[in-house]
Every structure is written in structure tokens, then in C-alpha cells.
Structure 1
Amino acid sequence: MQPIVSVTNLSKTYATGFHALKNINLAINRGEIFALLGPNGAGKTTLISIICGIVNASVGSVMVDGRDIATDYRGARSLIGLVPQELTTDSFETVWATVSFSRGLFGKPKNPAYIEKVLRDLSLWEKRDNKIITLSGGMKRRVLIAKALSHEPRVLFLDEPTAGVDVELRRDMWKLVRSLTASGVTIILTTHYIDEAEEMADRIGVINAGEIMLVEEKTELMRKLGKKQLTLQLESSLEAVPAALAGYGLDVAKGGNELIYTYEGDGGRTDIIALLKALDDAGIRFKDLHTTQSSLEDIFVSLLRGNQ
């Protein structure tokens, strides 16, 4: 299947000589939730701004559903909705008026039923006649999302959509994103909340210093790069790991009452079975065990540290 967003050899260099993006190649699949992760200044917002036609690229091309953002700007832009980081709305307009106006900017005919559905989905219906200046920060964020959805885009960019908002809105956002993808909308999400990407994304892209470090299926990324730990609570304490078990890289913890075995996320059960047999052969008994696994945040931090 042809990707809905295709970025080819894209670079951005500012007049100061700063290289914000360096030869980016990226394909976003139709209907997926793609999380773009990276530290501040990594190039996330610059990349989104170029795809959305807000910033011009220095080199390279971007296609959105087969439309070139440079040669068919109107066609490409009509397919895209953008929820920016900053709260940028007309403070003295009503919620209904500003969302309806955004739809009209794309030449879409009036559709009150659709606008009502968007406002209801975002819990804004009761606020439809309120001026935006009277709304809380969280409600203003919802208005931005409603504006981005007003023209029925096929690709929705969420640039730090839940930054500084309450837990309730974050959960509402997750619910809305799931419903949008179920209807065929492609979501590109940037976030500093790694748990958000872990909860929502189908694939993960990591960008740092203007370069794409990796693009991977989330489950595959966690399988390949994640680490697991098996912790054994011992019946009798140990001062050190017996020589017969040296090959397993075990660590003694909690005053000798625990043995910790760390293994790669894609390690098979065979290694653990062999370890348990070796423990039994060495006369080491345990009364309980539990496993833990690296989170996406652990993997993300590890990747960035390894790139420094």
C-alpha cells in the first residue's frame, strides 16, 4: 500500500547556517498512529511545519496522498489537519464560529451536523456559544483540535497536543485518536509524554539533531531494544554469585536475599529454563520470583544517550 505521507531526502538549513533537518526519509502508512519522539530542538516541529506547508524545505520533497506539497499546495493542505503546540485562537470569537470559520477556509460547504459531532466528541458542545477568552486552557486546547478536524482531514498532526493539560483531557484525547483512526484518519503524534506514545502508537520514529535515528513498529522496538529482569527472592542469603553461575551475569541484591538476571527483550525462554536448572544444580533455592520489562521511555533515553 502506498504511504499516505512520503518524505524524501528532506533537509532544512536556515540563513544562520543551522541545519534543522538533515536528509530525512520517512513514510507514514495510511491509517496508522505514528509517534515522532525526540528531545527539544530535535527537529520535530520543523518537520511537521514543512509537511503542513508552514515552512519551506531547503532540499527534498513531500507527498501527501500522492499530492506534492509544493506543486499542489492546496490539494495537499486540504488533506491535513494540524493541532499546534501553542494556543492560537481568536479570543473574542465563539467556539462555534471559529470552528465553522476554519472549515470555510478550506472551501468546504457548511455542515452544521458535522461541526456538532466534532464539538460533542471533544466535550465542547455545551461551550459552543462561549467566547474562547472565557475558556480554560484545557478547553482552548480542545478548540484547537476541533479547528483541525473541521475540514475532515485524512492526516492529522498532533504537535504536543496534551502538553500542560489535565489527566481527563489526555484520556479524552486518547479516546478521540482511537475513534479517528478507526474511521481511517492517519495520526502523526509528537509528544514528551513517552507513556502516551507507548499507549497509542503503532510505530515509533526517533529524531535527534535533525536526523531520523530509527523507525520501528512499537512492539518490535520494545522486543529488540527492551531489557527484562528476572528477580529471584532467595530462601537463604548469598554473599556472592557462585562460580558455576558466572556465565549468566547475575547480580546479588538486597543484602544477598535476591538474585537479578537481566536479559534482552527478545531473549527466549530457553535461557531462563537453563538458569533455573543451574540454580537447582548449585543448591540455590528461591521462594518467589517476578519479572520487569523496560518501558518505551527507558529505550528512548538509552537511544539518546548512545547517540551523544
Structure 2
Amino acid sequence: MERLEAGGIAIPKLGLGTYRLTGDSCREAVESALALGYRHLDTAEMYGNEEAVGAAIAASDVPRDEIHVTTKAWVENLKPDALRRAFDTSQRKLGLESVDLYLIHWPAPDMNLAATLEAMLRLKEEGRIRAVGVANFPVALLRQAVEGIGAPIACNQVEYHVCLDQSALLAYQRQKGIPLVAYCPVAQGRLAEDAGLAGIGRKHGASPTQVALKWLLDQDIVVPIPKARRPVSQQANLDAFRIPLDDDDRATIAAMRKDLRCVNPGFAPDWD
């Protein structure tokens, strides 16, 4: 699988999201994904499933150095001491000597971004994480991290799909060589019945979900991380790589609504 290099790591172009997967269901999903060829696993302390993800990695015969693992610090744990304690817990639950990518899950309104990133970079210096990144950062905050603070940001993980415009963020991240990791890449299932995507799918023998994923995969710096519990769904997402979208398909997608935001909690930043 193609990988995008940034911040000293190489991120596989398609990942497995694990939000709302817990316990045995999560462990089994990660085990099947690894068996099918996935090499990018996304978790977070807030998901409550790091132990299950770690157990699946331990049970797999895939070499650890082939698997990319991302986890995240929750919004309440961004002060340096709290972040270190949060990471200690995440690392213990995952059972890993090091984590490939550690993210600020959401920016906090009162956070000291420089201090938070400094604490993360200390973990990197100690060899406990390989790279640092952020999630849910609009352009202004990402610019502050990259240009104001000078942090080596390896990715920004945000909601992105065919019905949500992220052109300004994409332009900035492309300029800076920072991958955009797309969560909710099929809008939490809302795209499965979309008529326009279904029409494209019929032309290529694909589902609307696969079309939506391929549109993201075709973008040079974008890494979608769809959640998929069942092996058949995981395989279908891998098969999206094979769909040959053409200019007419892309024009149909360009004409779709671009204001559907599925994840927008009360503590979210100003997206503009």
C-alpha cells in the first residue's frame, strides 16, 4: 500500500478507524483488518479501545514495524503533566514500546499550544512516539503550530468527505507537505444511499461508499480512515483502490453539497 511521508514517518494511504468499536468487537475487527492487509490503525484514549487494539496487534503475525498506530490525547489532557500521564496510560494499554503518531485530539480554547507540543516532542525525544500531529485544527491553528511554533506536524486529522469542503485546509497542508487524515470519510454512512454516488458506482461496478472513498484516495495528500467492523466491509474499502473515476465522475461529485459536517461538538474550534 502507498504511504505518505511526513514528520519522519510513512503513513499508509488507507487506515482503519476504530471509533465506537470496543472490547472483543474491536479486537476482532483489528485482527481481521491486519489479516486482510491493513497497516494503519487509528485509536484514541477517548475511544476506550486502546487495550483491544493492542491485543489485536500482539495476536497478529504482522511485524510491528509494518503497522502504523495513531492514538490521541483528549481535550482535557493537554497541559504538559496531564498529557504525559495520558500518554503513559495509552502506551500501557496499547502494550507498545513506541507509538507511531500521537495527536492532539481536539484543540482546547484555553490551551497553551506551544507547551502542549513541547511536551509531545519530549516524548518523541525519549523514543516513545515517532511523530507528533494534530486533529480538528483549522488553517489558523495549524499555521500557528507550523509557522509560529515550528513544530514538525506529521498530519492534521479532520472530517472530510464528498459533502464537506476542505479546500482551504487542503491547500495549506499541500503547501506544507502535511497529510490530511480524513475521518468520517463516508459521512457516518450518510453517503451509502446518495443517488449521484450510486450512479457513478453503477458505471464502475462499485458501491456509493467505495466511490466516496476512491475520491479521497485519488487526492495526493489525503488518507481516509473509514471505520469497518466486518471483514466484508474492510475488504470492500480496500477494493475502492481499483475504481477508475473519470472527469465526469469528479464533476458529479463537485456538484454535490459541500456543507455537511457530521462532527461539531460544542468545544469545536472556529472552522473558518
Q: TM-score, normalised by structure 2?
A: 0.39
In terms of fraction of residues, the more helix-rich structure is 2
Greater C-alpha radius of gyration: 1
Q: TM-score, normalised by structure 1?
A: 0.36
